[in-house]
Amino acid sequence: MKSFADVVAATPLPEGDAEAAGFDTGEEGKAAREAVRSAFLASGASAAETSELWGIAAEAARPDYQPQTYEAAEHDLRAAWGADYDARLNRARTLMRDVARKHPAVAAEVKKLGLDNSPRFIAAVEKAARRRGR
């Protein structure tokens, strides 16, 4: 298991001007990023999975990001997962409910960024949940 410092190193702010990309680079922003990392690590996501989720979230935090609609996300996930759609979506939802129960602010941020309709984010959450045997 990697240390928290290793996970912080694997979940950096985007290259270039982080403030221009919409990131709070002050102490409040730093605390919020630590909460996100901790939430997924505490829910059982590995350091690599946390890094993947962070990368998707960092893209979604950019001002020019356009989240998908629920219908478009469902279409994409059904196409990718086929007959396993319901089971895999339930697996992802179970992990996110766990995160929301322990870290409601993180769950709210996921929703605010539109990640609840991001096939990439949902698939990454599902992968972490499946690895944990959920």
Query: Cα 134 vs. chain centroid, distance in angstroms?
Result: 17
Domain of 21 in residue numbering reads as 4-131
- Each residue's pLDDT expressed in tens, for the chain with a length of 134 residues: 344 444 444 455 555 555 545 565 667 766 666 777 778 877 788 888 888 888 888 788 777 889 999 999 999 999 999 999 999 999 999 999 988 888 888 888 888 889 999 999 999 999 999 987 75
Q: What's the confidence (pLDDT) of residue 127?
A: 94
Determine contact, residues 73/118, Cβ cutoff 8 Å: yes
Q: What's the confidence (pLDDT) of residue 89?
A: 96
H, E, C per residue of the chain: CCCHHHHHHHCCCCCCCCCCCCCCCCHHHHHHHHHHHHHHHHCCCCHHHHHHHHHHHHHHCCCCCCCCCHHHHHHHHHHHHHHHHHHHHHHHHHHHHHHHHHCHHHHHHHHHHCHHHCHHHHHHHHHHHHHCCC
Query: The whole model's pTM is what?
Result: 0.77
Number of structural domains the chain divides into: 1
Query: Which residues are within 8 A (CB) of 49 and not within 5 positions of it... i.e. 6 or more apart?
Result: 40, 124, 127, 128, 131
